[in-house]
Amino acid sequence: MYRQEDWLRDRLWIDRPDADIDAHVDQLSDSAGFDLREALVQWRRDGIVLFRDVVDHALIDALKNDIEHLRAHYRDFDLLVETSGVQKHILDLTEEELNSPGLKFNSIHTISRAAARLSLTREVSVFLSHVFRDAPCSMQSLTFYKGSQQPIHVDYPYVRCQTPVPHLAASWIPLEDIHPDSGPLAYYPGSHREDISGFFDWGDGSILLESDSQRSPMELSEYLAERVRQSGIQSQVYCPKKGDVLVWHGNLSHEGTAIRNPDLTRKSYVTHYTSLGAYPKAHLKPSAPEGGWIAHENGGYVFEYSWLNDLNQLPSIEAGHEGAAR
């Protein structure tokens, strides 16, 4: 069982009371290519960092093309999807489910090279290598076509294969300019700090959702909504432009806001990351980390899952988006 004291023991350096960002930055010999000190200060304070106009538009277009191809030929591919909280194989979807809001494609990066490479966008990989003091690794990805309308939550009770659990962050890449009526993501700056979030007890002191948890995700949402209300934190609605990317802390409260215009898409790509040292060993092929990856760029990795082999790939594999180790 993973408890609050385990989280406090395992926290990343930057979340500890004695974190010395100046000392960390002053000993670096290479420039990050952005204001790393400011980004780390903001991360510690707000639990988010936003990089504007840094994501490769050609890769975004390649992923959008992959998504359209997948939607048109979905019975030819092997991918898990989530619809109304239920996981299914994409080939078992009805047309109605394929078009339902809230449909998520799980880990499209296993069949889309463009997606795998987007997860390792330079600024995100470089920034997270400093947060983790280790190579960032994508653990899973989620692709949305429309707004999720997901209630307020934090990721770590659900995304918890990594050891230690606090080695967790996420990025959110818009695949188009996001319209305020499409159900944008919203987040609560500063809510990642333990004095604000507290620790939701799923039962007997466990802070992770387990198969025998006595409390429900909706109770977590009610708890977090009350914590942010009590601390007076206002939500920030994220309406990014294509090219922007938001990175958030594994304990940051966030939600999918209400869709005001159901005709609008909200095409977006989320990656959850851990550090190389915390990556679940059982998910790695025997040749990893030297081999067994789909993408290895900018110091980060997207590994092949140990249980998957030779999946039918989407068109970006052929279109010069194969990527290379750098």
Ligand X SMILES: O=C(O)CCC(=O)C(=O)O
- Judged by the rule CB under 6 A, the positions of this chain that interact with ligand X are 142, 144, 148, 150, 155, 170, 185, 254, 256, 268, 270
Return the number of the residue (36 or 247) whose C-beta is nearest ligand X. 247
Q: How far is the CB of 28 from ligand X (least distance, A)?
A: 30
3 state DSSP class of 66: helix
Q: In the complex, what is the shortest distance from the CB of residue 142 to ligand X, in angstroms, rounded to a whole number?
A: 5
Q: Which is nearer to ligand X, 151 or 315 (by Cβ)?
A: 151
- Minimum CB separation from ligand X for residue 147, in Å? 6
CA atoms within 13 A on the CB side of 293: 25
CB 251 within 8 A of CB 48: no
| CB-nearer residue toward ligand X: 44 or 153 | 153
Q: Would you say 254 or 296 has its CB closer to ligand X?
A: 254
Distance CA 266, CA 263 (A): 10
Q: How far is the CB of 287 from ligand X (least distance, A)?
A: 29
- Given phi > 0 = left and psi -120 to 50 = alpha, else beta, which region is 252? beta
What is the C-alpha separation between 312 and 26, in angstroms, rounded?
47
Strands (E), the chain: 48-51, 80-83, 86-89, 104-106, 136-144, 169-174, 185-187, 236-238, 245-249, 254-256, 268-275, 293-297, 300-303
Min CB(104)–ligand X separation in Å: 8
Tokens matching residue 254: 């966030």
- Other beta carbons within 10 Å of 23: 8
Minimum gap (Å) between residue 273 Cβ and ligand X: 12
Which lies closer to ligand X via its Cβ, residue 4 or residue 106? 106
* Contact by Cβ (8 Å): 14, 43: yes
Please, which residues have CB within 8 angstroms of residue 196's CB and are 6 or more apart in sequence? Answer: 190, 227, 228, 231, 233
- In the bound state with ligand X, the residue whose beta carbon lies nearer, of 227 and 321, is 227
Cβ closest to ligand X, residue 196 vs residue 270: 270
Give the nearest distance from C-beta 20 to ligand X in angstroms: 30
